[in-house]
Amino acid sequence: MEFLIIGLIFLILLLLMVWRPFFKQKTQQVSVNGNLRDETNVRLYHEHKQEIEKDYNENRMDEENYQYLLAELDNTLLQDIESTAKADNVAIGKGKIFSPFWPLGLSAFIIIFSVALYNKQGSFNTITELPAGHGQQAAMTEAQMLEQREIQAMAHIEKLQLHIEKNAEDSEAWYSLGQTYVAAGGFDKAVAAFMQVIRIEGEHADLFGAIAQALYYKNDQQITGQVQEYIDKALALDVNDASTNILLGMHNFIGENYQDAISYWQLVIDANNQGVNIAALKEAVAEAKNRLGLATDTAIEEMVAGPQLKVSVSLSADIAKQLAQGEDRVVFIYAIATNGQRMPLAAVKMKASDLPTTIVLNNSQAMSSENNLASVDKVHVYAIVSMQGGVGIKSGDYKAEALGVDVNRSETLELIVNKLVE
């Protein structure tokens, strides 16, 4: 889930900057066709997701393929929404219709930066890992795709540079060049291109935000003094600048400062700027609230009405000693139905260093509204210390389990992780 949320925020930031020329239009038209296409995309997304979940519940696919297909489905939805935005926006500037070819080309390169970033973090390889036997072929395909995209990016950069040689005062071309460099990882050159836009157009909050974003990526997602300088300049011109507040929200989300992330993202949601994917931001806010233990009024009502399964989780002395010698491991605590379906009805993720702890499993932690604790009478409850960081129970993990637990029990369920998975 964290991969998806951060990926969404990166896409929102980059698309905001790619489509900046369209924000300067004076027209306030709203595209009805675009709304219909978005609704159709979302409906198809949910239909495909239900099909995947059905296959998973009927044991026609394993856990790794299930997670991989869900991640691919989310990426497809984002690309469909992005394509709709491209088709429905027209930019007007300097007395002519702004050509859509540059933003269309730049959007194709956004994935380059996302892949590079998550490969560096390690999250991308974990989520997209295929079953044994397919890994080498998939790795070769991914390498070929990256190489092809890099070639395309360089060709696009050369095309923009040739245009700028003849049109040195074309601010939109400079801005597009900067975004192409961001997508390709050339952050210093991106900053130089954005500086040219400031020279031509003057100081604007979104331009300082674009520079802050490029420097943030350059410094491995760290807010250095230089990054902070441009953030301050952007907010001094516009405290509600979308790109800057989204960047700050993402930075705090990654650092698990969820309340601060919510505050920054909520500013953008309340401003309701044209061109910002408000729905995606609301999903990010909901996830941050969930990690804080907060919820919307509707979710609170559902939780009060539904089961509240209290679970105490701890490590045995010998396992705690072994884990203390290595890196902090991920712990999954979840409940599944007793009828053989493997999709969790409620799940919580934490670190081994957080144990011992007591949590409450409830309907707000379900993967779908139809399959939650309220839909069954009894569950199997597991606490898994994952040595590889992925979902599912694998050889080498440590576990504790309680089978046939009444979801409406009032007593705290005690789980002590003391077994090695063979």
Per-residue pLDDT tens for 15-24? 666 556 555 5
End-of-domain residue from the set 270, 292, 314: 292
Q: Give the CATH number for residue 150.
A: 1.25.40.10
Q: Give the CATH number for residue 323.
A: 2.60.40
Please tell me which of 36-50, 74-88, 258-272 the model is most confident about, judged by mean pLDDT.
258-272
Q: Residue 286: pLDDT band by 50, 70, 90 thresholds?
A: confident
Q: Are residues 203 and 241 in the same domain?
A: yes
CA distance 93 to 89: 13
Per-residue pLDDT for 293 more than 60? yes
Which run of H or of E encompasses 402? Answer: strand 398-406
End-of-domain residue from the set 239, 259, 292: 292
Please tell me which of 233-247, 268-282, 303-317 the model is most confident about, judged by mean pLDDT.
233-247
Over 263-291, what HEC string results?
A: HHHHHHHHHCCCCCCHHHHHHHHHHHHHH
- The domain tally of the chain equals 2
Q: Are residues 257 and 363 in the same domain?
A: no
Position 288 scores a pLDDT of: 83
Q: What single DSSP character describes residue 129?
A: P
What is the mean pLDDT of the segment spanning 369-376?
82
Q: Report DSSP letters for 147-176, one per residue.
A: HHHHHHHHHHHHHHHHHHHH-TT-HHHHHH
Residue 387 lies in a domain: yes
Position 14 scores a pLDDT of: 62
Q: Which amino acid is at 319?
A: I
Residue 261 lies in a domain: yes
Q: Are residues 237 and 310 in the same domain?
A: no
CA distance 19 to 175: 10
For residues 350 and 376, the answer to whether their CB atoms sit within 8 Å is no
Neighbours of 264 (CB within 10 A): 19
194-252 residue pLDDT tens: 999 999 999 998 899 899 989 998 888 889 999 999 999 998 888 888 889 888 988 88
Residue 143 tokens read as 């390498």
Q: Are residues 274 and 345 in the same domain?
A: no
Residue 66 lies in a domain: no
Q: What is the pTM of this model?
A: 0.44
For residues 267 and 238, the answer to whether their CB atoms sit within 8 Å is no
Residue 40 lies in a domain: no
Q: Are residues 320 and 283 in the same domain?
A: no
Domain extent for 373: 305-420
Residue 272 lies in a domain: yes
End-of-domain residue from the set 262, 292, 322: 292
Q: Are residues 342 and 214 in the same domain?
A: no
Position 114 scores a pLDDT of: 56
150-198 residue pLDDT tens: 777 788 888 888 988 998 898 888 988 888 888 778 889 989 999 999 9
